[in-house]
Amino acid sequence: MRTQGEELITVSGLSAGYGTVPVIRSVDFTVHTGEIFAVVGGNGAGKTTLLSTISGLLHPTSGSVRLAGTDITGWSPERIVAHGLVHIPEGRRLFTGLTVAEHLRLGLWNVPNRRKVERERTDRVVDLFPVLGERMDAYAEVLSGGEQQMLAIGQALMREPRVLLLDEPSIGLAPVIIQRVFAVVDRLREQNLTVILVEQRVNQALALADRGLVMRHGRIEVVGTAAELAEDPVLRAAYLGAAVAGEQRNKE
């Protein structure tokens, strides 16, 4: 077990929704520096809503979010990005008509001395995702799904964020590509980056994560280490059923 870093994100009593419809209710948890923190739960549990509220896309109806001790509740998404928290939404949201190189450069938006740091940071991203280095002049729309996901992560890394919110990076990807993307997320912890990972692939998410939580109907059901979550009977029954059955079959 890795030693725990300092408390980096503190979510307290956070509630938010759309219009008058509440979605997440009284959510409390903390994430430490360098952790990969998994957020799992069924469809519509409120995982994306939670990420959007942390990154400032949605305003909470109550509660607070602190980032490295600073209360960022109610800040604009741009200000939160500048403070080191970058949200990669589900579906990657890349620009058709912009190349890989242009997307990476765009990742430096508003970064001081961006011309000076561009080369070095691009090299670091290419070191993590060599395929992007081979496709610098390709337009985003001609990339495969896996390459698009790598570009979305690479673009976020150009800012050298402290925290990455990653929403369903595996969606629509072949298993072998998912493994590659997850392997990179695993390498990010060596750089002391903190990641909050929303994932439907609960087994893989928990294999990667240090800690995490399970959401149900907008509330936290369990929060703990990845090992504790994997052993949780409710989680096993609800989300790991196939894996448990598979293990059983293998024993027989």
Q: Which residues bind ligand ATP (CB under 6 A)?
A: 18, 23, 41, 43-49
7 phi-psi bin (left φ>0, alpha ψ -120 to 50, beta other): beta
Task: Find the shortest distance in angstroms from Cβ 116 to ligand ATP.
Answer: 38
Spatial distance between the Cα atoms of 118 and 172, rounded to a whole number of angstroms: 30
Looking at this protein, which amino acid is placed at residue 166? Answer: L
Task: Find the shortest distance in angstroms from Cβ 18 to ligand ATP.
Answer: 3
Residue number with CB closer to ligand ATP (29 or 129): 29
Residue number with CB closer to ligand ATP (24 or 132): 24
Q: Quick one: 154 exposed, middle or buried, by C-beta within 10 A (0-12, 13-18, 19+)? A: buried
Residue number with CB closer to ligand ATP (5 or 17): 17
Spatial distance between the Cα atoms of 225 and 211, rounded to a whole number of angstroms: 4
Task: Find the shortest distance in angstroms from Cβ 169 to ligand ATP.
Answer: 13
Task: Find the shortest distance in angstroms from Cβ 165 to ligand ATP.
Answer: 12
Residue number with CB closer to ligand ATP (73 or 170): 170
What 3-state class would DSSP assign to 33? coil
Spatial distance between the Cα atoms of 50 and 39, rounded to a whole number of angstroms: 9
Q: Are 183 and 136 in contact (CB under 8 A)?
A: no
Task: Find the shortest distance in angstroms from Cβ 197 to ligand ATP.
Answer: 12
Residue number with CB closer to ligand ATP (157 or 235): 235
